């Protein structure tokens, strides 16, 4: 039986919000739990949108976090298709798009992120796409299949994870693909220059064309349809469709209007939260893509946009809302699948933060582990087509290990032994 005297509200119907609602119930919370989703879909996971579902290997129903019936069984009050438009901290209420106001005793903001838009002429043409929501993926699946049948061209702006995964999906359908990227290699701001060339070679082997060191300046169309794109170096590339994959921005407008402390976009943006995922208002918490958290292990503030962070920070925030002691210090983790290459990355080592990269295994065969170090300390590790090593990699990072580089590079030395 629900105790109506306490109400916890969750704004955001993604993985973080859904797992927070689940955790509140599993931890014994008997009050009202209200989950506000601006999409009409039940909460779902986003990785399949650029991976298995987009390629056609996974069914639509597989993306949902819970069966639709679970919410009623768990006594979670769902507001689907209802954006939260105003947060009144003094009244402790959230107003929805239809004018309904809901009271909260504690509130979780899991509003996620939204794709960055291209600021160039032609973005209003019918063939310009983004990929963030299930509806986007459904539309893009049809587009890729059509391009494959008609030998059509897809231009992708951005060679980050989404751009590369969609490129792989598009080639699986037979579409022609050109990727325009301002940096000299794919994933340059994530992996640095040392490993970017690996992904250049991988995609070129599968027929993807890259145009590095340039930006889109115009999408050219006729009768509302895309014909080509132009770049700032004067080049023109044929295109029937364009995907903007230039990153995502945290959805902070609700928090900003309510006066919560935010992080400057120059430093990653997001809602500032402490290690317990509590905002500057003690009754409001944030989790998932939108939360810029003080990370006890990394001794820095970090906003992480990947699946594992949503999976784990939602439950952590729920426990903090219940008054439990929480220190959210998960090692950042993400994964990607492109053609026959699968990889997992653990840790945090953006360019400029490390001074050495060590590899063990065969990089040429794309079966290896790469490690990023700073003054001998292991910051991050990425295993490529090498499996069951995430746990020891994360243990080494968590321990602040300073392994011998020769031992680190030697596949005959068990990673676990480097903890000693």
pLDDT of residue 189: 87
- Using a pLDDT cut of 90, give the percent of the chain over it: 94
Predicted confidence at residue 1, as pLDDT, reads 60
CA atoms within 13 A on the CB side of 345: 21
H or E stretch covering 408: helix 405-409
Q: For 144-181, what is the HEC assignment?
A: HHHHHHHCCEEEEECCCHHHHHHHHHHHHHCCEEEEEE
Closest by CA position to 265, among listed 281, 249, 278, 280: 249
Start-to-end CA distance of the chain, whole Å, equals: 51
Let me know if the fold of 3-114+249-321 is the same as that of 340-419: no
Look at residue 420 in the predicted model and tell me its pLDDT.
Answer: 67
Which segments in the chain show pLDDT lower than 50? none
The reply to whether CATH 3.30.390.30 applies to domain 340-419 is yes
In this structure, are residues 226 and 128 in contact, taking their beta carbons and an 8 Å threshold? yes
The three-point CA angle 172-174-178 to 5° equals 95
Number of other residues whose CB lies within 10 A of the CB of residue 319:
18
Residue 101's H or E segment, with its range, is strand 101-103
Q: Which residue, among 102, 118, 105, has the nearest Cα to 281 in the 3D structure?
A: 105
Superfamily of domain 3-114+249-321: FAD/NAD(P)-binding domain (3.50.50.60)
Q: Was domain 128-246 assigned CATH 3.40.640.10?
A: no
Q: Which two tokens stand for residue 205?
A: 């082997």
In whole angstroms, give the CA distance from residue 91 to residue 382: 47
The whole-model pTM stands at 0.95
Backbone phi and psi for residue 107, each to the nearest 5 degrees, phi listed first: -130, 140
Cβ atoms of 54 and 48 within 8 Å: the answer is: yes
Tokens of 101: 């106001």
Please give the pLDDT value at position 182: 96
For 63-103, strand residue ranges (E) read 76-79, 84-88, 93-96, 101-103
pLDDT at 351: 85
**Rg of the chain taking only CA atoms, in angstroms:** 22
Task: Name every residue whose Cβ is closer than 8 Å to that of residue 234 and which is 6 or more positions away in sequence.
Answer: none
Domain boundaries, the chain: 3-114+249-321, 128-246, 340-419
**Is 79 buried (19+), middle (13-18) or exposed (0-12) by CB count in 10 A?**
buried
CA distances from 335 to 73, 197, 211, 243, 280 (A): 32, 18, 25, 21, 32
Let me know how long the chain is. 420
């Amino acid at each position: 039986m629900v105790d109506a005297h306490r109400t916890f509200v969750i704004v955001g119907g993604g993985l973080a919000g859904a797992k927070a609602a689940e955790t509140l119930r599993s931890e014994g919370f008997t009050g009202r739990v209200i989950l506000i989703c601006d999409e009409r879909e039940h909460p779902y996971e986003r990785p399949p949108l650029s991976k298995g579902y987009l390629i056609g290997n996974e069914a639509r129903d597989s993306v949902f976090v819970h069966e639709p019936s679970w919410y009623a069984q768990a006594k979670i009050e769902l507001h689907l298709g209802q954006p939260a438009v105003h947060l009144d901290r003094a009244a402790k209420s959230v107003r929805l798009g239809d004018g309904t106001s809901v009271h909260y005793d504690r509130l979780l903001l899991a509003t996620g992120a939204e794709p960055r838009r291209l600021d160039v002429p032609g973005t209003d043409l019918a063939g310009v796409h983004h990929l963030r929501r299930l509806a986007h993926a459904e539309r893009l699946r049809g587009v890729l299949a059509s391009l494959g049948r008609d030998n059509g061209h897809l231009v992708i702006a951005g060679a980050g994870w989404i751009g590369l995964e969609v490129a792989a999906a598009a080639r699986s359908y037979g579409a022609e693909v050109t990727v325009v990227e301002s940096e000299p290699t794919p994933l340059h701001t994530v992996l640095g220059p040392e490993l970017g060339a690996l992904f250049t070679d991988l995609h070129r082997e599968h027929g993807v064309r890259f145009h590095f060191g340039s930006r889109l300046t115009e999408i050219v169309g006729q009768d509302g349809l895309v014909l080509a794109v132009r770049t700032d170096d004067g080049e023109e590339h044929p295109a029937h469709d364009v995907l903007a994959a230039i990153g995502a921005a945290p959805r902070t407008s609700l928090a900003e209007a309510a006066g919560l402390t935010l992080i400057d976009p120059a430093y990653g943006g997001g809602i500032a939260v402490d290690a317990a995922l509590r905002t500057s208002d003690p009754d409001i918490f944030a989790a998932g893509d939108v939360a810029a958290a003080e990370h006890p292990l990394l001794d820095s503030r970090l906003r992480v946009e990947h699946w594992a962070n949503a999976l784990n920070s939602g439950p952590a925030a729920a426990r903090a809302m219940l008054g439990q002691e929480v220190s959210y210090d998960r090692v950042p983790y993400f994964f990607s699948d492109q053609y026959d290459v699968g990889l997992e990355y653990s840790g945090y080592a953006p360019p400029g933060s490390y001074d050495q990269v060590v590899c063990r295994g065969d990089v040429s065969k794309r079966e290896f582990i790469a490690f990023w170090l700073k003054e001998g300390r292991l910051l991050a590790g990425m295993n490529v087509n090498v499996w069951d090593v995430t746990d020891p990699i994360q243990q080494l990072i968590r321990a602040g290990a300073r392994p011998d580089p020769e031992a680190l590079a030697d596949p005959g030395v068990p990673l676990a032994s480097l903890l000693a």
